[in-house]
Chains A and B, each alone.
Chain A
Amino acid sequence: MEREDKLGVNEPSAEQSGPRPRSGGWEQVERTSAFAELVKAKKAFIVPAMLFFFVFFTAWTALGGLTTVLDGRAFGAVTWATVFGFAQFVVVLVLLHLYTARAKKWDRLVEEARREAPERRRIS
């Protein structure tokens, strides 16, 4: 069973070096409505999620390291810098679950593009 599984992985041509004549066809997939929707959906989630997380994480390290605003006590001996640090863990886990939930829909769009692309070829 392992041999079958790796047929795809083993396809020698595609990623080996050396210039090669290319037959078109990729843009046909690109032009399917399912692929366009896939790219749009991914962008709409990944770009804001990445920007938000970058700002959230850098705000913690920058406010903690360059200012003293996080030095105050939140409760007991625990400072806001520590609370902000643990909040990173929570945000990572939340974003992980938002991503995986969306990715399941994206997998369906990939399958749709697969079915749509050969049809477009027949039409064109």
Chain B
Amino acid sequence: MSADTITIATFVVIIAITLGITAWASRRSKDTDHHYVAGGEIKGWQNGLALAGDFMSAATILGIGGLTALGSFTGFYIAAGGLAAFLVMLLLVAEPLRNLGKYTLADALTSRFNAKGVRSAAAISTIAICIPYMIAQLVGAGAVIELLTGVDYAVAVIIIGILMAVYITAGGMLATTYIQVVKAVLLIVAIFVLLVLVLARFSFNPLAVLDEAGAQLGGGAFTPPHGLEGLSWVSVALAYMFGASGLPHILIRFFTVPDAKAARASIAVSIWVIALVLAAMPIIGYGAALLVGQQTLAAEASEGGNLAVPLLAEVLGGPFLLAFVAAVTFATILAVVAGLVIAASGAFAHDFYNNVIRNGEASDGEQLNAARIMAVVVSVLSIVLSLAVQNVNIAILVAVPLVIAASANVPVILLTLYWKRFNTTGAIVGMLTGLVASVGLTLVGPTAMGENALFPLAGPGLVSMPLGFLGCYLGTVLSGTRAREERERGTQVPYEEIHVRSNTGYRSIGEELEREPTSRSRA
């Protein structure tokens, strides 16, 4: 059996498993609630694995491994920034958002502001994040699969796109979650095997790996970049730290669990998983640098080192391990893109169609149909765009979503939860300011314009995130209507309600107060 045959066979096994999960989920995914949030029935630890899986995309894992293997310190920033993001999420947003939200990010915000403007702004920023993110994943996926299996780029993208549409229209969030869980477990196994095999070559002494990498790769491997590049990485790390708390496909994961306790448990599981996987990445990256050899890696440098980890697998375990790592990469791409399709199609179908166009009056059947139709539309749209941009620099597409999340979504989420005077105008202005600033500064920055950049930082988060907060503040204080007046008009709910609900998870105050003092709660 040739290496390609083994690889394709493992890909077919992965596809069969995911379709099996989808078939099982489709029998339970019968209403809108199941489609978007798996009926809120996912267990904390399962959701934790899925959350970790959402963060550990192919771009993250292959990217960090590649950066490290090529002797760059910056892989550490992405690794620690990603972990920091989950702590920020735990401390500030996970539990309160779980208590306020329903299906989408916009649902959580409109639990305070009864305004179509807020919902529309949240839906626009969700789409502005998910579509580029998805294209970046698909373009990367197509390239990696082409290199690993010889399957044509266009064919690979189309296959993934079709699988996506099938998973989501048939299995909804339930299928997406379990596919993500399976992928997370496979990824952990793959990383663990690679770690052990690398260490075995260095008599199980991690310091020996680091020392030898330092000797061979030179100073850059353990020294961060300085000057303007250093400042740019400060900015990128900041966007990582806060951005994940505003990524729609991550936030909707908290709506799939029954309560805030389960949301907390999910983060605990995901932090441990991510910490262990990311702590292993430097060893694996340096292992690739030492065992694959710089010459081979440099030959693949046009891929940004993305193939360092698969190449290491081939050196350590031959065609079988290569096939396994390739299949895990494939599963990773499928699972992450599926989560993005749910988030993006929710913004179209639930936010725009049901709540803005139909005033929230569409029947459950109509909502479910809209959700499924939009999932297909989003999948097709992404396939077409991915085929169109395959020769464009995808670095822009990778950079933008996280910065938009940090600049447009995070300020509004935090102020909705914690600032009593925040009002509708502030929320809309803040969201649009953050969106325009992050997209605009990326387009005039070095990522898009290279040498002639008008704005010096490759990651604009350091500037665009404060601008997002400033937009929220100025929108609030300069608008004629104060929060108090909005409450009198009924366009904003009393802050006490948000305060109590976000801290306790009560859904209806009447129910709570009618309860007999002695009776135990349903928790």
Contacts and interface: CB of A to CB of B under 8 A. Distances in A.
Contacts of A57: 80, 84, 237, 241
A39 B495 CA distance: 14
B91 A49 contact: yes
Contact of A114 (B83, B115, B504): B504
Contacts of A119: 517
Nearest to B222: A79
Contact of B505 (A27, A30, A110): A110
Nearest to A32: B500
Interface in B494-516: 494, 496-497, 499-501, 503-510, 512-516
A76 B211 contact: yes
B225 A65 contact: yes
Given A14-B508, A49-B91, A110-B505, A85 B80 contact: yes
B251 to A, nearest CB: 14
Nearest to B360: A16
A46 B96 CA distance: 13
A: interface residue count bin: 35 or more
B73 A81 contact: yes
Interface string A72-107: 000111110110011011001101100110010001
Contact of A15 (B86, B110, B489, B514): B110
Nearest to B499: A30
B493 interface: yes
Given A26-B494, A85-B80, A117-B513, A78 B504 contact: no
B211 A77 contact: yes
Contact of A92 (B84, B503, B509): B84
B521 interface: yes
B41 interface: yes
Contact of B521 (A23, A38, A60, A114): A114
Given A6-B39, A65-B231, A89-B275, A81 B87 contact: no
A114 B481 CA distance: 34
Nearest to B218: A77
Contacts of A27: 494, 496
A8 to B, nearest CB: 5
Interface string A24-53: 111111100001001100100010011001
A65 B230 contact: yes
A29 B511 CA distance: 12
A11 B507 contact: yes
B446 interface: no
B226 A42 contact: no
A10 B33 CA distance: 8
B491 A19 contact: yes
B77 interface: yes
A39 B420 CA distance: 15
Contacts of B518: 115
Given A29-B500, A46-B91, A62-B234, A68 B226 contact: yes
A89 to B, nearest CB: 5
Contact of B515 (A8, A81, A118): A118
Contact of B234 (A6, A17, A58): A58
A35 B503 contact: yes
Interface stretch (B100-108, B177-185, B401-409): B100-108
A56 B182 CA distance: 34
B395 interface: no
A88 B214 CA distance: 21
Given A22-B494, A57-B237, A114 B515 contact: yes
B264 interface: yes
B441 interface: no
Given A89-B279, A96-B87, A38 B503 contact: yes
A21 B264 CA distance: 33
B268 A19 contact: no
B215 interface: yes
B504 A29 contact: yes
A118 to B, nearest CB: 5
A30 B496 CA distance: 7
B369 interface: no
A15 B107 contact: yes
Contacts of A113: 504
Contacts of A61: 77, 233-234, 237-238
Given A50-B91, A76-B210, A85-B80, A25 B513 contact: yes
5 contacts: A2-B41, A9-B33, A25-B513, A39-B503, A85-B79
Interface of A: 2, 5-6, 8-11, 13-30, 35, 38-39, 42, 46, 49-50, 53-54, 57-58, 60-62, 64-68, 70-71, 75-79, 81-82, 85-86, 88-89, 92-93, 95-96, 99-100, 103, 107, 110-111, 113-115, 117-119, 121-122
What 8 A-B pairs have minimum CB-CB distances, sorted nearest first?
Answer: A77-B214, A65-B230, A19-B490, A64-B224, A25-B509, A26-B496, A9-B40, A88-B80
Given A27-B496, A28-B513, A88-B80, 14 more contacts: A2-B41, A9-B37, A9-B39, A13-B508, A17-B115, A22-B494, A24-B494, A38-B503, A66-B234, A77-B214, A85-B79, A93-B275, A96-B267, A99-B90
